[in-house]
């Protein structure tokens, strides 16, 4: 039976072993390549819809506000925050390539292209070059688009080509 004390103990802010047997390990998800790629994709793609709603809200609520300034500020925050995640991807590390493979689909490609377009507009070409390298790498990887399993898509748990899931 699950103990409520054990559940709340997981939220401790102390740096100690939370397992009773001393053998269980906990990985910080925020320091994983899966998190870096997933957050980049999520931020860029969600920004498009969110930005439309925010701009519409401000346009209706206060006509004196410069909507273009609000749009530019939103893009700046979104793309730079997304960059803070994707810049941690190392194209020479297997775990990072596997994270890209996991998320590779038309949506990740679109998010990468949007990032390249944004950073080109503000002339941050080093960021464009890195995103271009990622786009080239994901072109080499097998996309999950066309996979008959719906869980293989955005945020799903299956990876096409993984023998464990083909049964």
Q: Which tens digits make up the pLDDT trace of 86-127?
A: 999 999 999 999 999 999 999 999 999 999 999 999 999 999
More confident residue, 42 or 10: 42
Q: Are 137 and 130 in contact (CB under 8 A)?
A: no
Mean pLDDT, all residues of the chain: 79
The pLDDT-based confidence of 165 (bands split at 50, 70, 90) is very low
More confident residue, 124 or 67: 124
DSSP classification of residue 148: S
Rounded to whole angstroms, the Cα distance separating 145 from 73 reads 33
More confident residue, 66 or 109: 109
Q: Are 79 and 121 in contact (CB under 8 A)?
A: no
Mean pLDDT of 134-154: 68
The pLDDT-based confidence of 160 (bands split at 50, 70, 90) is very low
The pLDDT-based confidence of 143 (bands split at 50, 70, 90) is low
Which helix (H) or strand (E) segment is 160 a member of? none
Rounded to whole angstroms, the Cα distance separating 155 from 89 reads 18
Q: What residues does each domain of the chain span?
A: 30-143
For residue 124, count CB atoms less than 10 angstroms from its CB and return exposed for 0-12, middle for 13-18, buried for 19 or more: middle
- pTM for this prediction: 0.69
pLDDT of 163 above 80: no
Give residue 153's pLDDT. 47
pLDDT digits (tens, 9 = 90+) for 14-23: 555 555 555 5
């Amino acid at each position: 039976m699950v103990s409520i004390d054990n559940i709340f103990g997981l939220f401790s802010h102390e740096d100690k072993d939370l397992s009773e047997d001393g053998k269980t390990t906990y990985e910080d998800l925020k320091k994983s390549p899966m998190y870096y790629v997933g957050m980049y994709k999520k931020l860029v793609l969600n920004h498009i819809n969110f930005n439309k709603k925010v701009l519409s809200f401000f346009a209706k609520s206060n006509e004196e506000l410069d909507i273009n300034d609000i749009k530019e500020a939103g893009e700046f925050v979104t793309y730079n925050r997304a960059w803070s995640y994707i810049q941690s991807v190392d194209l020479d590390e297997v775990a990072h390539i596997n994270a890209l493979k996991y998320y590779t689909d038309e949506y990740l490609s679109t998010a990468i292209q949007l990032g390249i377009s944004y950073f080109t507009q503000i002339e941050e070409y080093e960021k464009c070059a890195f995103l271009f390298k990622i786009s080239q790498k994901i072109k080499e990887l097998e996309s999950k688009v066309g996979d008959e399993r719906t869980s293989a898509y955005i945020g799903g748990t299956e990876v096409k080509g993984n023998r464990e899931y083909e049964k």
